[in-house]
Chains A and B, each alone.
Chain A
């Protein structure tokens, strides 16, 4: 009997907080491994870029000797492993080095660019997440009706149009013809909160157009699944009202895949907006990384990609946390 009690005690679930902590710790460890692999890949990929850094910086008239001296001075002639260690060991200590292209600290270039990207991503998130969830939910609740078809077709159409087309249409209509919104997303220095929002509206609309169909479609499918589930029927049979069922049972369960999809878009929204940044002339981290790749600015390129990776993993961790809070199965599986 005592043995049975011990076994029962051992099988008893761990406290909720401990489970979540373990789950997140595991995710965090995986994120570190991912970051390490990303740093190796981005370093190796940067080496494959064509061109000579010294020649690129010093120009066509520099003597070969000067080019060689420059490369030596910046450690570009050292073995790959040594170069990698030199970069990553400084990176983890917060020293991002100097841009080879501009000869200023990488932090001074990436800091404002990352800030800008985060601002744009945040506004896009604030707009796209509620609109898409609302759209997807309405479509699911009106399944097969005109509203459903209108939302689904609009979403699919917007998603299938390349972002540069959507962006140009928005620029031409709202920026050039109607002159309602600025076509360049960079607000003047010292601009207030609402002015900054105004400048970011057009690119945010372009991103909403790209992401709406995707998120709304996932939401719709999940809501339909949840509406048809046994627990929803049970909830209705218990006598709960439609609002309570929708809020407590349907949405709570159907938002799980939506959260996962939204989290996976974070990387795109932070570092993958090159086209949007170019068209709206916005100094985001995507443009910085692209220019760095064009100019073989290793320090800027590597640090930029790794920072985007860090942000992406942080967003994924937050999504995991939300996921685990909403879904006990994940929480307990994580503890095992």
Chain B
């Protein structure tokens, strides 16, 4: 089977944008066509990752609207919604479309417009994914993070500062990302003294609300070679689902979807966690970086905080994590985030990451929907 290559990528500036969702999607989509050197009429499948444009701004049918706007007609088009992991699910859908032989050129664009809503309204749109017995109690994703962080810190006797160091690290990485929402360094004291949001977690333990879009272009490797010598190959991709009701999980510190999708992606790529050179993890909350490190085999259960304390996940460390600044610094426009993770891994593998460039041949992205409810893990390798 021909392997699936990524031959182009783009992302808009993330942050508070004047543009609405269709403009954001078009901006990233057009830039990706340019980056890949692909003409609109060559696109055979178009996937649009988006969680809630209907709820946020009353815009539905985004896949058809974007297909027309980019003039990729009559390409097959489909919207992909898997909550916060819509972008990762879009990568999986795009990979399937090429790997199956259904498409020889697939464009994936992810995007979301959120900042025109108040924090409370945006939080409620996201919290509507919860079970009714959770929702009626006012349970939000940040509150799940607070509940889990307390359990983790108490159970493993981890210092509260270790979570803050994730925020400090990712903000420092975001300084070198021109697309990041926050290009601002924060120190440990600032994080530890910021307002409590869901104790023990504070403001700087949480990602912001963000507008933005990102895109990737997929094709068979045999086709990729007609466009460029510098491309990446998707060698592993898998998705898995955990319980809808979060408190029903046997171990609150284990995200089953992360474990299972990671296991399948490693098997498909015939790689081990030790083979990964750079990773983008879904740090919507700092505690999630710990849980994904452990679920993906980068650390033993209860020990991710030790690797962070040792500086091993810094950009010059043994395993750089979230060189883009992560969701924490780069921002989290729901449907775009998984695609933007793919953008960062692609950029690292083809040597286009600028000041954040690390030495990497294998990159992994883990995109989490809900509080670990749906997870997509993708492994890319640099073309030989």
Query: Do A and B belong to a common assembly?
Result: no
